[in-house]
Amino acid sequence: MTRLAILLHGVGAHGSSIAWMADHLAQSDLAFAAPDAPHAFDQAPVGPARQWFSVTGVTPENRAARVAAARDGFDHALRQAMQAHGITDPARVALIGFSQGSIMALDAVATGRWQVGLVVAFSGRLATPAPLMPAPCPMLLAHGRQDTVIPFAESAQAQDRLAAAGAKAELLLEDRLGHAPGAQGMARARALLQDWTTSALV
């Protein structure tokens, strides 16, 4: 039965801007969706740019509250994507995020709200406060060592926190890569998707 990979874009982008990943991650019986975030990008309110939450004036102190406030819109986008593909079981869903999309994907599983089958977080961070209740699914945290937008230390810290909470979180740091999905991360994501799509669901 078909499974679904939901591609989650970063702030100031939109679903079609991340849809290119589907060509690189394609598997048999795997469908892809790339929803737009629910809010217009408040730094460019005219045009297709979207955001899951505002980064205007964001700080380490208020980021968690902004992520929490964005959960309803994020969850609605996931449910709509699943409904469009006739999927009701979150275990048949993989979340693949970039930047702010990764923040939201990691929050979805770290809070225990979404018991998905796989998570790939490119260039992200874990903004979810304790206690963490992560879904028992494989997670890949891929990050460029030269990222000047979200430092790679954020993914390293996320892996530490998720592992301490019992999650299966893998860290891949890619040299000579900034704030972008890299070739090594994409290759590892493709391998994990292949393992997942050929495995039985329990």
User: Domain of 180: which CATH number?
Assistant: 3.40.50.1820
**What tokens were used for 183?**
């070739």
Q: Specify the number of domains making up the chain.
A: 1
Identify the domain containing residue 66 by its residue range: 3-197
Name the catalytic one among 9, 14, 99, 123: 99
In a domain, 102, yes or no: yes
Q: For this structure, is 147 an active site residue?
A: yes
The pLDDT of residue 131 is 95
The pLDDT of residue 202 is 59
Name the catalytic one among 9, 107, 143, 147: 147
What's the CA gap between 77 and 81, in Å, rounded? 6
In a domain, 144, yes or no: yes
* Cβ burial, residue 59 (10 Å; 0-12/13-18/19+): exposed
Q: Are 115 and 135 in contact (CB under 8 A)?
A: yes
Q: Spell out, as residue ranges, where the chain has pLDDT lower than 70.
A: 1, 202
In a domain, 202, yes or no: no
The pLDDT of residue 44 is 84
Name the catalytic one among 9, 14, 143, 179: 179
23-64 per-position pLDDT tens digit: 999 999 999 999 999 999 999 877 899 999 999 999 999 999
The pLDDT of residue 45 is 73
Q: For this structure, is 99 an active site residue?
A: yes
